[in-house]
Amino acid sequence: MVSDNQAAATAKETAQENSQFLRAELDRHNYAYYVLDTPTIPDAEYDRLFREFSALEQQYPELITPDSPTQRVGATPAPEFHQVQHRTPMLSLSNAFSEDDVRNFDRRVKEGLEKVGLEKAGLDREAETTAIEYAVEPKFDGLAISLIYENGKFVQGATRGDGYSGEDVTGNLRTVRSIPLVLSKPAPSQAQAVPSFLEVRGEVLMLRRDFEKMNERARAAGEKEFMNPRNAAAGSLRQLDPRITAQRPLRFFAYALAGIEGQPMPATHSAVMTLLRDFGFPVATERAVVQGYDGLLAYYSEIGGKRAALSYDIDGVVYKVNSLKAQENLGFVSRSPRFATAHKFAAEEALTELLDIEVQVGRTGALTPVARLKPVFVGGVTVTNATLHNEDELRRKGLRIGDTVIVRRAGDVIPEVVGPVLEKRTGKEREFVMPQTCPVCGSSVIRLPDEAAARCTGGLYCPAQRKQAIRHFASRRALDIEGLGDKLIDQLVERDLVKNAADLYALKAATLADLERMGEKSAQNIVAAIEDSKKVKLARLIYALGIRNVGEATAKDLARHFGSMDALMGATEASLQEVSDVGPVVAESIARFFAESHNREVLERLRLAGVDGIDAQNNKESGGGDTQQEPLFPHSLNGKTFVLTGTLPTLTRDEATALIEERGGKVTGSVSKKTDYVIAGDEAGSKLDKAHELGLVVLNEEALKALLEN
């Protein structure tokens, strides 16, 4: 007779064999459906296999592993996403919009490779007289992500973020069925094992048909529809609850290999794509290898003709030098590679009516006119609003309320109002007038001569600027209120507990302790830190007020010159210009700030709260009480004036300012003939334009670091 134990063991062994068979079958069918896009069995048959497999795992939980097909449904919600530092930065591509741009890209590649020599660049010497070989592929319109595998198993996934660090969305990515949880072994002919480490870069997106079905279900359920596949994919991937992500029809396509260990890197990008396909990753079937400039344009034309028939949205094509050694030798410039570029498709345009122009007030006080449009479908989305940037841009385009206008959008580019259709004017259109007072708080609006934006002067009072003003006031280089971070400030403002900086000094520990993620001890520590901040030097307090164009160096100069807050508040523009490096623009900005009654009321409340920098006296020699310490580095930049504009790749503005001041330099907020250097990063604005007009020296971050080192 067979004992009960023997029978149980036999049943478990049979279940294990069945589980292995069903898992292999489900993996095979998943690969065919989600990667090859060629289903091998009907949905009903797949569902039957899945139910059978799931029942076995429920009966024998020890059969469940992290890479099981049943684990794609999502785990419990995450409280928030943790930040992940990318081993290799996820940089953006430069853009080409015309044939001339492509020709110049090809020329720069040739010139770059000639400098290092073709052999060093990994190209045949015979190639000296031939065209450069490029790998070309569609440019997916989705969300860029990084996937990391260790010993063939998926261990971490992250968004691009700022290029250097992103959000850890591993749990959500596990639910995307086209992402292999375990790498497939390459074909035997390749004689390669699964690598010990692999980092893959790619795009998460939604196929058009999946997007349409999802919106159909939303309509039937009376729920809000998504605007376009890209937004739907991005929103789905960033759900805190992976179970929601699992219900969304997300797809993944690989487009690069960022790192591999345990086996050699292929010699070309096209070979990389083949290897990734063999590992089980979906890759674009429309990829190709072409020769030279003519080959690039021919591919662009070919894909443009196929664009509407593709199963996913694209906004252009990507060109990459095929040789990886050549890529390495060409290197990078700023935040993009020299060996690759994205050739964007022409923007799509449509006509609609400009219903109104409203003014939004940003967190820094900038007033931005925004076009309210009659809804129009263009570039894959329904557009109802578009920024008009500033008053000058609005006047340049000659827009009037009531105009029929041309709206343009390309891919993920922000919608743009190109201009009015003049022949459609009826005479009923109205001119737009920029308000002279802030639409949010009623404070005066000022536009400085060297700036395109008009700004609200109620910096300490205006609700639109409230969070930014308090963050700056409490920051390390201002009043340095320890523990008063962004999330706590958000809660204080959103619950209407703090309307301006003076309200901080009325906060009680009991009030803070009731806030999210705050305990009694933490609340007491923050109240103590706020109390300690009352003993502030005049220069720090001036800087903390957030006056436009008044940085730390200017704040110190003002403190030395005037000696007290009362004297500074009563200063005329003429007397302000007596201060070193304070010109007409900065003087006007300071005078307008103190002329605003709302700001003076907040300062008076700070005085009553005991913030002693306001009552500082005899500061002319001491610089507002700041002790003059020997700098950490030689004063190699003594007397030199710097202006920072745009976003630097690795340094924050505070860090760059500190490095410059440590070496004796001075950082100001406006560009003038007295400026020695303008440090420009990404998205530099009018300050960079003015620097070029004045013929000033413009440096990037790399050149700034070289200057500081020398």
The answer to whether residues 413 and 534 belong to one domain is no
What local confidence, expressed as pLDDT, does residue 203 receive? 94
Burial (Cβ within 10 Å: 0-12, 13-18, ≥19) of residue 1: exposed
Tell me how far apart the alpha carbons of residues 470 and 477 are, in angstroms, rounded to a whole number: 13
Proportion of the chain in helix, strand, coil states, percent, rounded to 5: 40, 20, 40
The answer to whether residues 283 and 384 belong to one domain is no
Mean pLDDT check: name the lowest of 433-447, 489-503, 655-669: 655-669
Strand partners, 682: 647
CATH of the domain at 168: 3.30.470.30
The answer to whether residues 303 and 373 belong to one domain is no
CA dihedral sign of residues 71, 74, 80, 83 = positive
Answer for the pair 268, 257: CB distance below 8 angstroms, yes or no: no
257 found inside a domain: yes
Mean pLDDT of 48-77: 69
Q: Which residues contact 483 (CB under 8 A, 6 or more apart)?
A: 522, 525, 526, 529
The answer to whether residues 278 and 316 belong to one domain is yes
pLDDT in tens, 248-259: 899 999 999 999
What local confidence, expressed as pLDDT, does residue 75 receive? 44
The answer to whether residues 358 and 262 belong to one domain is no
Tell me how far apart the alpha carbons of residues 542 and 99 are, in angstroms, rounded to a whole number: 52
Mean pLDDT check: name the lowest of 378-387, 401-410, 628-637: 628-637
Answer for the pair 542, 624: CB distance below 8 angstroms, yes or no: yes
Mean pLDDT check: name the lowest of 99-113, 290-304, 368-382, 652-666: 652-666
Tell me how far apart the alpha carbons of residues 619 and 627 are, in angstroms, rounded to a whole number: 11
Say if residue 495's pLDDT is above 80: yes
Picking from 598, 615, 632, the residue at the C-terminal end of a domain is 615
The answer to whether residues 520 and 397 belong to one domain is no
What local confidence, expressed as pLDDT, does residue 650 receive? 81
CATH of the domain at 661: 3.40.50.10190
Which residue from 15, 13, 17, 47 is spatially nearest to 29, judged by alpha carbons? 47
CATH of the domain at 462: 1.10.150.20
What local confidence, expressed as pLDDT, does residue 219 receive? 82
Mean pLDDT of 278-304: 94
Answer for the pair 669, 548: CB distance below 8 angstroms, yes or no: yes
User: Quick check: helix, strand or coil at residue 155?
Assistant: strand
Which residue from 54, 71, 67, 66 is spatially nearest to 18, judged by alpha carbons? 54
316 found inside a domain: yes
CATH of the domain at 43: 1.10.287.610
Mean pLDDT of 367-381: 87
Block residue for tokens 């020699």: 621
Say if residue 33's pLDDT is above 70: no
- Mean of per-residue pLDDT scores for the chain: 83
Tell me how far apart the alpha carbons of residues 116 and 114 are, in angstroms, rounded to a whole number: 6
Band the pLDDT of 107: cuts 50, 70, 90: very high
Answer for the pair 466, 482: CB distance below 8 angstroms, yes or no: no
Band the pLDDT of 518: cuts 50, 70, 90: confident
Over pLDDT 70: what percentage of the chain?
87
* CB atoms near residue 481 (< 10 Å): 22
Of residues 667 and 34, more confidently modeled: 667
DSSP state at residue 313: -
pLDDT in tens, 538-581: 999 999 998 988 888 889 889 989 999 999 999 999 999 999 77
DSSP state at residue 133: E
Mean pLDDT check: name the lowest of 33-37, 129-133, 358-362, 638-642: 33-37
623 found inside a domain: no
What local confidence, expressed as pLDDT, does residue 58 receive? 77
Tell me how far apart the alpha carbons of residues 176 and 245 are, in angstroms, rounded to a whole number: 8
The answer to whether residues 487 and 605 belong to one domain is yes
What local confidence, expressed as pLDDT, does residue 402 receive? 95
The answer to whether residues 220 and 334 belong to one domain is yes
pLDDT in tens, 180-195: 999 987 655 444 578 9
What local confidence, expressed as pLDDT, does residue 703 receive? 83
First to last CA, the chain: 90
Q: How many angstroms from the chain centroid is the CA of residue 481?
A: 27
Mean pLDDT check: name the lowest of 260-264, 294-298, 391-395, 658-662: 658-662
504 found inside a domain: yes
DSSP state at residue 83: E
| Count of residues in the chain | 710
What local confidence, expressed as pLDDT, does residue 274 receive? 94
Tell me how far apart the alpha carbons of residues 535 and 83 are, in angstroms, rounded to a whole number: 35
pLDDT in tens, 197-238: 999 999 999 998 998 898 888 888 887 777 678 778 888 887
513, amino acid identity: A
What local confidence, expressed as pLDDT, does residue 339 receive? 94
208 found inside a domain: yes
Answer for the pair 303, 317: CB distance below 8 angstroms, yes or no: yes
What local confidence, expressed as pLDDT, does residue 301 receive? 94
Picking from 279, 309, 344, the residue at the C-terminal end of a domain is 344
Q: Which residues contact 391 (CB under 8 A, 6 or more apart)?
A: 369, 434, 447, 452, 454
- The residue segments making up the domain with residue 646 are 641-709
The number of distinct structural domains making up the chain is 5
Tell me how far apart the alpha carbons of residues 297 and 451 are, in angstroms, rounded to a whole number: 40
The answer to whether residues 452 and 420 belong to one domain is no
Picking from 344, 370, 390, the residue at the C-terminal end of a domain is 344
Longest dimension (CA), the chain: 109
* CB atoms near residue 69 (< 10 Å): 20
Which residue from 477, 472, 437, 476 is spatially nearest to 457, judged by alpha carbons? 437
648 found inside a domain: yes
Tell me how far apart the alpha carbons of residues 580 and 261 are, in angstroms, rounded to a whole number: 58
433 found inside a domain: no
The answer to whether residues 457 and 386 belong to one domain is no
The answer to whether residues 331 and 473 belong to one domain is no
The answer to whether residues 356 and 338 belong to one domain is no
- Cβ-count burial 253-274 (b if 16+ within 10 Å, e if not): bbbbbbebeebeebebbbebbb
CATH of the domain at 413: 2.40.50.140
96 found inside a domain: no
Q: Which residues contact 658 (CB under 8 A, 6 or more apart)?
A: none
Catalytic residues, which ones?
Answer: 139
What local confidence, expressed as pLDDT, does residue 291 receive? 95
Phi-psi region of 500 (alpha: psi -120 to 50; beta: other; left: phi over 0): beta
